Structures are given as C-alpha cells and as structure tokens.
Amino acid sequence: MTDATHSIAGLQMAPAFGDVPGNLDGVEAAIQGRTFDLLVLPELFNTGYSFRDRDEAQSLAEPFPDGETTQRLLAWSAQTGGMIVAGYAERDGDRLFNAAAIVANGQPLGSYRKIHLFGFERECFDPGDGPFPVHEHKGLRVGTMICFDWIYPEAARVLALNGADVIAHPSNLVLPGWCQQAMLVRALENRVYTVTANRFGTEHREPRKALTFTGLSRIAGPDGKPLADAPEAGEAFVEAALETVRSRDKQAPSGNDLFAERRPEWYADL
C-alpha cells in the first residue's frame, strides 16, 4: 500500500441486548487477525438497540473514554494501529447520548453524539450537541455520522466540506432499503467513500414492537457505486481500498469542481 491508499472496513453483526461483555467478545473474535486503517462497527453495537426507557439506557451507558467499551476499542486500535468508529450509549453526568466512540492507535479522538435521533431514541437520549466531526489518522480523514443522520443531506455534506475522505456510518437501519440506496447518492454528490456498518436480525423487547434490522452493510465509492456489500443477514466483514486521490478530487466527468462551484449565496435558507 502506498501512503495514499487505505483499507476501510465495516463489521455487520447482531448484538445480544444488554450483554455488553458478550458483545465485546464477539467483536474481538470477529476482527481477530484483520487489518484495517478504519473499522466501523454498528450503532449501539455493545448494548443492543431497543431500550425500554431512559433509565434502561442510563444503566447501559458508559463515559468516554473511561468506560469498558471504549477501553476495549482502544486496545483493539492499539493492536491494529487503525482507527475504529463504534456506536455506544454515552453517559456524561446526567446526560445520555446515542454516540460513536472514535479511537485510533490506542488514543481516544472523540465521541460523536447523534444529532438526528430516530423515533423512540428521542425518549431515551439527549440530542447530540455536535458538531459533525472529522478526525485524521495516518493521513486518512474520517467523518462520522450515525444511522438516521443519513436522511439529512446536510450531515454528509458538512463532513465532506470539512475534508472527510470517508464517512464512517454506524447504523441500526430498519427502513427497508432506503438508506442503502441513499448512501450511493451521498457518496456520489460528495465524491467521498462511505462505510455503513449495519445490524442484522430481529430484536423484540416488549412493549416495544419487534424491530428487524436490514443488514446489507455497504461501502460505497466516490462514483456512487458499491465497493462491498454484506448480505441481508449474517455476520460479515466488508472491506475496500480507499484512494485519497479519488476522495480529494471533486471533479465530475464534465470538468465541474463540485465543491469549488457550490454557490452558498443561494443556500442561505438551509
């Protein structure tokens, strides 16, 4: 690999609700022997998703970076030298966030707190206090957003404008096919790579309705085409090569520089 090529990856998995040690061990086994410059794990990969209420979310939330989950992420990143972006429930005093821990080579880089909460998450978590973050490691610039942030084009756009080569996108997707299709457009319109690491399987924690996660974790390239796809169900490690020469070239085939030719004077209503 040259300096300008990086390996990017995502792990599709199905955590058992509430079994943090078991879920951590499962990921550790799944990535054993893998190498990557960036690894993305699903949203709330360590706890499961369907919290019954805020108290339950509180009971499974952890501080950053001292919590058990981030400590394990730090260890894995130190072993591999790579960056890891992984969803977890973050506790900060009385506040609770649906967050993504961002670590690299044994160092904590930040915790992104989901800005656009989905459905009942609004009962369990506080809305993220931003901004959308971009972190650099080994020359690779990684922007992070979580799951439902995808439906807001502003999210990926802000990350790309701030220099992201790749958007790390921990997810627990339940709307069939919507996001997987849309991420091709997010990649294309921003000329970046995207790594959507999704869950599979069904989680049913009454009185919440059963949720089936849609799998189909996907890496997309700056031309809007899939580079790697996971199946609908089953644990899967998806990976692809990222070339920064591509993600930093914002030209369409027409010769238009998509970023330089933006006209923000007409976007004021955003």
Say which of 62, 90, 124, 147 is annotated catalytic: 147
Q: Which residue in the block uniquely carries the two structure tokens 């880089």?
A: 109
Closest CB 159 distance from its own copies, rounded Å: 9
Site string for its own copies, 100-139 (x = CB under 8 A): ---------------xxxxx-------x--xxx-------
Nearer Cβ to its own copies (4/185): 185
Site string for its own copies, 150-179 (x = CB under 8 A): -xxxx--xx--xx------------x--x-
Q: Which residues of 189-227 are buried (b: 16+ CB within 10 A; e: fewer)?
A: ebbbbbbbbbbbbebebeeeeebebbbbbbbbbbebebb
Site string for its own copies, 62-101 (x = CB under 8 A): ----------------------------------------
Out of 49, 112, 148, 193, the residue judged to bind its own copies by CB under 8 A: 148
Strands 226-229 and 218-220 turn out to be antiparallel
Enter the tokens of residue 69.
Answer: 């989950």
Closest CB 108 distance from its own copies, rounded Å: 22
Q: Could you say whether residue 240 binds its own copies (CB under 8 A)?
A: no
Helix and strand totals (H; E) in the chain: 7, 14
Confirm whether 225 is a catalytic residue. no
Of 49, 134, 32, 53, the closest CA to residue 87 belongs to: 49
- Helical ranges in the chain per DSSP H: 20-30, 54-60, 68-80, 121-124, 153-161, 178-190, 244-247
Closest CB 181 distance from its own copies, rounded Å: 7
**Cross-strand partners of 8:** 38, 240
Closest CB 24 distance from its own copies, rounded Å: 28
Site string for its own copies, 182-221 (x = CB under 8 A): x-xx--xx--------------------------------
Closest CB 54 distance from its own copies, rounded Å: 17
Compute the distance between CA of residue 171 and CA of residue 142 in angstroms, rounded to an integer: 16
Neighbours of 98 (CB within 10 A): 33
265: amino acid identity, one letter:
E
Confirm whether 147 is a catalytic residue. yes
Nearer Cβ to its own copies (39/192): 192
Q: Which residue in the block uniquely carries the two structure tokens 């933006």?
A: 262
Strands 95-104 and 83-92 turn out to be antiparallel
Confirm whether 179 is a catalytic residue. no
Give residues in contact with its own copies (CB under 8 A): 115-119, 127, 130-132, 148, 151-154, 157-158, 161-162, 175, 178, 181-182, 184-185, 188-189, 224, 252-256, 258, 261-267, 269-270
Catalytic residues: 43, 114, 147
